[in-house]
Amino acid sequence: MTDALREDATYLAGLVASGEASPDELLDEALARVAALNPALNAVVLVQEDAARRAIKAGLPEGPFRGVPFLIKDLGAEAIDFPSHSGSHLLQGTKYGFDSAIFERMRSTGVVTFGRTTSPEGGIGPVTEAAVYGGPTRNPWDVSRTSGGSSGGSGAAVAAGIVPMAHGSDGGGSVRIPASSCGLFGFKATRARFPDGPASGEGWAGMAIDGFLSHSVRDNAAMMDACAGPDLGAPYVAPAMEYSYMESIARPPKRLRIGVCETTFSGGAVDPECRVAVQKTAKLLEEMGHAVFPACPVADHAGMMHAWTKIVACGTALWIDKTLEAQGRAFRQGDVQGVAASARDFASGISGAEYLAAVNKVHAYGRAMAATFDKYDILLSATLAEPPASVGRFTHDRDDYEGYRVGAGGVFEYSPFCAAFNASGQPAASMPMHWTDSGLPVGVHLAAAYGADATLIAVCAELEQSAPWAQRKPEMLRNYLA
């Protein structure tokens, strides 16, 4: 087969609809690429070929991605046919007696799900280096670099051309960090745009949400349209969109006020390559007729990050202790990696009142960010403060969770932008607008006001049309195709 899987999912679905390719043929090619490319990446795990073949034989839904091979993140997206490790030895081989609402909606698009993608333990890192998978997940553009986290396996699988699009989730940048690291498009929707049930009502006090990594904006738009809307019993819902995601990308936005931040939101320096990416994108937006001016959101960014750290520590302690309770035993050294274990220890010192104070701090931050966005329609910044980190730099084999997140040289210095919009609930996206001279992708980050998903994705589609990126290929994929 030609390089069909490097084309986007919409294109592949068109091949199936026209009879030029069958779902089984596309699955064969995806599995061949897993065999050829995954040993160098360690991105695709828990392959369930039989389940995929059964789904094809039973008849796929007539959705926008009928017959397209697909992967789901090994964290959340509970599904009967797809056991999970959730990045942890403690949860290894977990089986589910139900299909989650998000999985049912993804399946309704006609995708052929055949496996899962790696995730760091508990989803709490900007890299994907979980011990349960036997080693780190690596970046197809440079295997000495991380593919990001926590949806790092999905980012690597899509960038390497194994699948054209994959599921992820984002509680502090976990879709957008891999998108930046792997040269992909990643979109974090407004809080509660997608269902969390029936396993939970919300993740990390509402900061976590599902999402997708793709080569094209249109693939992400169509999948988000299929997944949008509350499920039964949702505790709250996102504001209604004036237009669907797909309608929005077909409607060029009005000329917008674009605030541009070339530093961190606290005024710190970013890597020159990241600054160049922002400047190039700002110039392009200005050439497109948008009003572009310097800006930086005024809010308690450091306070938000410390509150985020407390909330996620409590969430980590919850899943560890619930699992141990179900297993009827006490915690043992080695049950989880160092970061998760120290997060649990850190959470033990947080009272209920302190937890609620952290949630209130996050809500206050959202109000401050909402006020800031009265001044502009879109905020442009880098996605990360530097190009993708080397493998091992943010290893989970350390026991200082708080320092890992907010200490000197920690995660929030490396990723100072993404979690802001998990805390505020606002929509945000990472776009691959720059590559370094050494061939590493560098993403730019665009965010909009709460509920303004339609405006944001319309701008993303405009940028994609003006500066397309999808034909770039990592060397490992070029070698495979040669």
For 410-445, what is each residue's pLDDT tens digit?
999 999 999 999 999 999 999 999 999 999 999 999
Q: Which residue has the higher pLDDT, 205 or 4?
A: 205
| Residue 299: pLDDT over 60 | yes
Q: Which domain holds residue 21?
A: 4-481
Q: Can 154 be counted among the known catalytic residues?
A: no
Please state the domain count of the chain. 1
Q: Can 361 be counted among the known catalytic residues?
A: no
Cα separations (Å) of 456 from 173, 254, 394, 459?
Answer: 17, 11, 31, 5
Residues 150 and 443: their CA atoms lie apart, in Å, by 16
Instruction: Express each pLDDT in 228-252 by its tens digit.
Output: 999 999 999 999 999 999 999 999 8
Q: Which residues pair with 258 in a beta bridge?
A: 292, 378
Cα separations (Å) of 79 from 51, 215, 272?
Answer: 11, 25, 43
> Taking CA 187 as the corner, what is the angle to CA 56 and CA 205, rounded to the nearest 5 degrees?
100
Instruction: Express each pLDDT in 341-386 by its tens digit.
Output: 999 999 999 999 999 999 999 999 999 999 999 999 999 999 999 9
| Residue 253: pLDDT over 90 | no
> Residues with Cβ < 8 Å from 439, sequence gap 6 or more?
141, 142, 475
DSSP 210: E
The pTM score is 0.98
Instruction: Using CB atoms within 10 Å of the CB of residue 168, give its burial: 0 to 12 exposed, 13 to 18 middle, 19+ buried.
Output: buried
Residue in 88, 147, 150, 169 annotated catalytic = 150
Number of Cβ within a 10 Å radius of residue 340? 27
The CATH number linked to 386 is 3.90.1300.10
Residue 169 gets the label, from left (phi > 0), alpha (psi -120 to 50) or beta, of: beta
Residue in 100, 147, 154, 174 annotated catalytic = 174
Residue in 73, 310, 361, 473 annotated catalytic = 73
pLDDT of residue 252: 84
What is the band of 6 on the pLDDT scale with cuts at 50, 70, 90? low
